[in-house]
A = this chain, B = another copy of it.
């Protein structure tokens, strides 16, 4: 079984992504999570490029990591400087990491058009920068930026830069597909030429996803002998992103027999993948291989029954190996068996003969005819199962009436105002609230009325609110479906409402969300 090391650059190259900006505290938290899933190297930042990264390296020294080594990243020295006086190399050494990665130019076009120096001078810069760093660090990696594009344009020159880095003592040469445009069979051809020139080097791969082939290129490289793979969690990174370690690690471990992380570390992959998007309050892409919410979701018909007989029929790996779960989607196509398997998934004890199963199935079909969709709002459906089973007998509260008023100020600003009457624990409460729009006003008014009785509602916040017109209706008369995503400290849940009236639909979803929170709290208190 060959040895392959995982090198994470979420904290450096990942932050080049649009909408992915990390604060120092975020970076420290993510570094700990990366150690939990067993990466070998964590590239913490480019200390020469910004003070936040300098602080990161000083703070990270106080953390203990089980496996991961911290890496500082930087460029070769400035063309107008020598290594001894180059501020970038200085900050790299001052980061005091045992491992340093330094990148240099492999593509003659970049040397000419970006650096604007001679090809010969670039070779000197590579040699001198690495030779200087060599004595200061334990491990020294060389990122050959744009290696594949460079090789296609001018193979002799690209290889000459690699030769300099090897001679100057790099421990590993990383071939970078910086623009992400290389296809796997091109990589195969180029790497085989490189290997014939340098048969005994340690080498790695750093791929970008502009052609949609970053994961494939990385795995192809390992297949051809790479011993280091660089990538990011969820494939975040500039433009279309970097190679996704959440796809690479399980492929290495489960498909290629490479024991890069332990079984326990692999089983944390899904939770770490989702942790990072939640930290940033961005949606977790549902279709992500291995770790996405839809990755093992089966929709109706033939597939569902085959998967129940033998999961291998429509699953390329067992989902639990990466900490994910199988999901049988609830839809108009589903029958009794879907409801039973969902109940099982949720830990609800329901048997095929139970009389409520037929009742639940009928309600599901009726509501779906009205335009409800439960595969994206499972908790609204869960509440209905609990209700059918009599476990939600008690009214936490009852909405007696509501009223929303939307008008504008003298200078034209819109004003939204909502009023609710509720009955809670035998008492009546009235609340009125302004809001940023009518739905927010309703949300606030409900909380005003209820928090006296249920103070833990303060823990709950709404993280997403979406509206869709149902396609079979049209124009402003259409029915709309509102989906709300809520969370508290521990859980995330999704609820749904449908009506011709967008405010009524929003209210249904809001009420379900509040009831689900109250139900959750009650269960937690029982434990």
In the complex, A350 has a CB within 8 A of chain B: no
In the complex, A255 has a CB within 8 A of chain B: yes
- A415-442: contact bitstring with B at CB < 8 Å (1 yes, 0 no)? 0100000000000000000011111101
CA distance A110 to B309 in the complex (A): 10
Instruction: Kindly identify, within residues 296 to 338 of chain A, every residue whose CB is under 8 Å from any CB belonging to chain B.
Output: 296-299, 301-303, 306, 309-310, 312-317, 329
Name the distance in Å between A376's Cβ and chain B's nearest Cβ.
6
CA distance A33 to B320 in the complex (A): 40
CA distance A288 to B49 in the complex (A): 28
Q: A178 to chain B: which residues have CB within 8 Å?
A: 314
In the complex, A118 has a CB within 8 A of chain B: no
Q: A292 to chain B: which residues have CB within 8 Å?
A: 240
Name the distance in Å between A443's Cβ and chain B's nearest Cβ.
4
Stretch of A166-174, A205-213, A516-524 at the chain-chain interface: A205-213
Size class of the contact patch on chain A:
35 or more
In the complex, A62 has a CB within 8 A of chain B: no
Asked if A295 and B240 sit within 8 Å, CB to CB, the answer is yes
Q: A462 to chain B: which residues have CB within 8 Å?
A: 474-476
**Residue A286 contacts which of B19, B316, B436, B471 (CB distance < 8 angstroms)?**
B19
Report if A23-B463 is in contact (Cβ < 8 Å); known contacts: A181-B255, A297-B239, A499-B414: no
Instruction: Kindly identify, within residues 202 to 231 of chain A, every residue whose CB is under 8 Å from any CB belonging to chain B.
Output: 209-213, 215-217, 219-220, 223
Q: A354 to chain B: which residues have CB within 8 Å?
A: none
CA distance A27 to B313 in the complex (A): 29
Name the distance in Å between A308's Cβ and chain B's nearest Cβ.
10
Asked if A239 and B475 sit within 8 Å, CB to CB, the answer is no
Residues of A contacting B: mostly: mixed
Q: A114 to chain B: which residues have CB within 8 Å?
A: 302, 306, 309-310, 313
Asked if A314 and B439 sit within 8 Å, CB to CB, the answer is no
CA distance A438 to B84 in the complex (A): 61
Report if A251-B183 is in contact (Cβ < 8 Å); known contacts: A469-B465, A471-B23: yes
Asked if A407 and B402 sit within 8 Å, CB to CB, the answer is yes
Stretch of A35-43, A262-270, A501-509 at the chain-chain interface: A501-509
**Residue A329 contacts which of B18, B213, B502, B503 (CB distance < 8 angstroms)?**
B18
Asked if B503 and A183 sit within 8 Å, CB to CB, the answer is no
Asked if A406 and B212 sit within 8 Å, CB to CB, the answer is no
Name the distance in Å between A323's Cβ and chain B's nearest Cβ.
16
Instruction: Kindly identify, within residues 472 to 517 of chain A, every residue whose CB is under 8 Å from any CB belonging to chain B.
Output: 472, 474-478, 480, 484, 499-504, 506, 510
Q: A316 to chain B: which residues have CB within 8 Å?
A: 179-181, 210-211
Asked if A468 and B467 sit within 8 Å, CB to CB, the answer is yes
In the complex, A459 has a CB within 8 A of chain B: no
CA distance A183 to B28 in the complex (A): 34
CA distance A241 to B241 in the complex (A): 18
Q: A290 to chain B: which residues have CB within 8 Å?
A: 210, 212
**Residue A19 contacts which of B21, B376, B436 (CB distance < 8 angstroms)?**
B376
In the complex, A395 has a CB within 8 A of chain B: no
Asked if B113 and A306 sit within 8 Å, CB to CB, the answer is yes
Name the distance in Å between A29's Cβ and chain B's nearest Cβ.
11
**Residue A251 contacts which of B211, B403, B406, B468 (CB distance < 8 angstroms)?**
B211
Asked if A18 and B210 sit within 8 Å, CB to CB, the answer is no
Asked if A313 and B438 sit within 8 Å, CB to CB, the answer is no
Name the distance in Å between A381's Cβ and chain B's nearest Cβ.
15
Among A185, A255, A283, A329, chain B packs the most CB atoms within 10 A around the CB of A185
Pairs A–B under 8 Å by Cβ, sample size 27: A18-B375, A19-B375, A109-B313, A113-B306, A113-B309, A113-B310, A178-B314, A179-B316, A184-B220, A210-B295, A212-B244, A216-B220, A235-B287, A240-B292, A283-B283, A285-B285, A402-B407, A403-B405, A404-B404, A414-B499, A435-B477, A437-B477, A437-B480, A437-B503, A465-B480, A466-B468, A467-B469
